[in-house]
Every structure is written in C-alpha cells, then in structure tokens.
Structure 1
Amino acid sequence: MKYETVTDVSGEIVEVGSGVREFRVGDKVVAKLDFWRAGGLAEYVAASESITVARPAGISAADAAGLPTAGLTALQALRAIGTKFDGSASGADVLITAATSGVGTFAVQLAKLGNHRVTATCGARNLDLIGDLGADEVLDYQTPEGATLTSSSGKKYDYIVNNTDNGKWSAFKPRLSYRGRVVDVAPNLGNFVASVLTLFSWRKKLSLVIMTLGKKDMAFLVELMREGKLKTVVDSRHPFEKAADAWTKSMSGHAAGKVIVEM
C-alpha cells in the first residue's frame, strides 16, 4: 500500500488470501481497516475483502485514502436526516459545523448533492474553500454570527450536522426550526445527555451518529468520486518518515480536510 491514513488505506494488492474472490494481485483498491487492528502506517497491511472496493482509474490513491471513515460518517449523518441522492427531494435548511474537518468537507458536498440549502461554519482562512465545495452561506465561527450560528437571513435550520466536540445542545436548540433536529457525530457528555432527554420529543431533538456503513456504501461514494461529484480535500501530504508530523497536524484541529501519509 502506498498512501495511507491510520484506518484508511489505498494502494495496490500484492497478495490475496485463499478465500478472496473479488480481487487479484495488481488491483488498485481502497479499504477501511478494522479499527481494533488498524495499523495503516505500514508498508504492507492486511485488509478485509468485506470493506475493500476497487479504485477506478482517474481517482488518485491519495484522494481515495482520505475517503472511507470521513466519507462514510458524513454519508450516514446525511442519510440520518432523510437525504436522498437521486434528485427527488426538495431539500431542507441544513447547518454543518466544523466544515473543514474531514467529515465536514464530505458532508457539505453530500448535502448539496441532496439538494439541501447549506450553511457551514469554519475559520476565516477557509471561507472560500467551503464556499467552493458548494455551501450557500459560510460563517466564520470566530465572529458573533458564527459563534451563535446565526444565518444572515435569520432563518432557522431544519437540521444541524455537528462535527465538533465543542458544540452544545444549548447553542443549537434556539437555531432549530419547530421540529428541527441535530445529528451529532462528535458528541460530548452534555450532548449525550441531551440525546437521551430529547429521545421522545415531538419537537426539537438531538441524536447521535455512530458510523456503521460498509462496503456497498463505500462503493457508492467511490462512484460519486469517479463521476466528479465528490472530492477529497487534502490538507497536506507527508512522507512515511514524517508520519509523526502528519499525526501532529491531524490532531491539532487546524487541518482543512485530510492529512495523508505517502508510502
């Protein structure tokens, strides 16, 4: 494998097990490694056929390597709010926080593919980046409007996809429409409690997303990428010997998109 993140890898198959039927040596693939046995930062890794898909020509290994975990989490969050990707839905007013995170960058793109009207938050230096991904309105989280999640039109949000563990239910609730909902992919303790308290609410509620999607869903994302409808935002690339620098950048909270280690 050549291009890697900790649990997500993309490269070329050099050996297959006796039970493998779908792939052969030399195939280009992208895979999500089992979390408990991740080990993506290695020259060779063992990936399960059950969560490995072919990487089509035209998709770079680096772009593919950034897709699995972040892309699948974003897809699950968007599906949790009823998003359809066949053009049949009229869409809703959706706020996506921390839009420059790996999940956030994919969530903005997927929300627009679902015909949603998207407001997103990020730092000032990335306003144009998120706008270019399709967001209809981008809020600088360090401004009063961004801090309070206030749209310039004053609209309420039908859904909020929260990607930051600093987000609080108390801040989200006033910005929701009458039956609005928060989908939280990075819950803190307070939001976990709120998710329980709002479980049976007929009005505003908060629910948690734990990524459970698999091979079929990853193939769907790869196909969107092949069609040019979805892309990986790559913050930076690092050689394997600088993997520690890549990890530091990733954990800093200041990366715009994915941090890739090249083998």
Structure 2
Amino acid sequence: MRKRSRAAAHIYLVGMVLIYIVPVWLMVVTSTRSSDGGGVFRDWSPFRFQALVPYDLDLGGYRDVMAVGSIFRASLVNTLIVCVIVVVAGAVVNFLAGFAFAYYDFQGKNMLFTTSLITFMVPFEAIVIPILTLVQRLSLVDTLAALILPTLANGFLIFMFRQFFLGIPREMYEAAMIDGAGVGRVIWHIYLPLSKSILVTSSIVLFLAVWQALFLPLVVLRSRDTWVVQLALSAMQGTVQMPTWGPVLAGSVITLIIPMILVAPFMRYFKLSVLEGSSRG
C-alpha cells in the first residue's frame, strides 16, 4: 500500500513538473525556429511532437529584439535600473521599518503596523487609482520614479522583518545600548550580519515584484522611453518594428532567463530564511 501511494505521489509530482516545464520549453524551442517554411508555429496546428524538438535553428528573433534602438532593449535597461534601486532602497526601508516596529514604542504603532499588514492583503487593482492620483500630484507621471516610490515599502516584508527581530533576544540590543553603542552601530554590527538571509529574501521578493510588474507601468508610464520590459513585450505584438512572433518569443525567453540567473545563486539564503522563520514560529 505504501509503495502504491509513493508511486502515485511521484506520478503526480512528475505531472505537475511537466505542466510547468513543457510550455516553457515550447516557448524556448519556438523562439529559435526560423520563420520561413510556414512560420514559427507550423507544428502547432495540428500539434505535433516536432514542436518540442529544436530544429531549423535561427537566432534572428534574438538579434532583432536586442538590436540597437529596439523597444525591448531600451525597456530592459529601464527595468534593470528600477530593479537595482528598488532592491537596495526597498531592503533598507523595510529593514528599518521592521526594526522600529519590533524595538520601539510610539504613538499609533499598532495602527501603523495593522495598516502595513492590510496593504499586502488588498488587491493592487483596488489601490492603483490612489497611487496614480498621488503620482500625478507629485508630477512623476511617465518617469521611472513613478514605479520606484510605490514599490519601496512592502507590508509583507515589514511583517517578516518584524517577526525576525522579535525572535532575537532583546537583551542583546539593551546590552549594546548600555555599553554606549548608538542605534546605527547596533544595527550595522549586530543586526545587519544576523539578517543576511532575510535581506536576500526581501531582495528576491522586491526584484521579482518589479520584474513582473505590468499593471502599474501600464497606468503611470506614457512614452516608450520610460517603458519597462513587461510593457514592451505586451506592445510588441503587431507593431511595425516587431511584426513577427520570433522576437516576441525571444524577448519572453530573455525575461525568463535573466531572473533565473540573478536569483538562483541566492536561493540557499531564501531557504535558510524560511527555515529560520518556521523554527521561530
């Protein structure tokens, strides 16, 4: 009975993996296919096994999508700029907010913390209009700052940092303060080294949130000079500059590979932070 249940579990897991991997592999293979002789989708209707096999390789789509002056290339640069700023500044903002909620008592603390929790429970679509109104009043529409500022503070990350700091003995903080260390030195020499794994986790969360964002850029950005990668991909289909599916699929593969390359080396810290959180919980 146990062998049957284990075999069923393995079959289920393999099936789930295939459900996620096959479409991605199909996208990669199709992006390298020549558009001659029936187009990149010639094995799709009716669907044949050849659609999953790389043949008739042509990297023209990648050359077109990364050509100088292309929409995608410029948007890729914009996206990387926004990601770097949000990851660095956002980690600082959420780290300090979580530290303040964990170690300081001030008027309205519980209300502010509850509000920060509500922000990541509310669907983004429900607050996009207030964000757009605020961005317009600050005269930041059609600038990268319109993407950066609303993304820095994250209610989930503030909660995560707060719980992490509450798990550290408070006596450590009090002893350092009694010895004459300032708050800045305490954070820099004690809490920052202890927070390596959770800082990496917060950076991954912020990076993926910005990289995958489409709705906010669609609302606050106007000109192509400020477009980010997801907005450029959605606009490439049917344009004069990118009239075929080859560059679109090539751009999709690039947007998939870059996060994998950047995030994969830090996944061990992500796992470590999850284990630390579960052990403290």
Which has a greater percent of helix?
Answer: 2
> Which has the higher Rg, Structure 1 or Structure 2?
2
Superposition TM-score, scaled by structure 2 size: 0.25
Higher RCO structure, 1 or 2 (CA under 8 Å, sep 6+)? 2
Which has a greater percent of strand?
Answer: 1
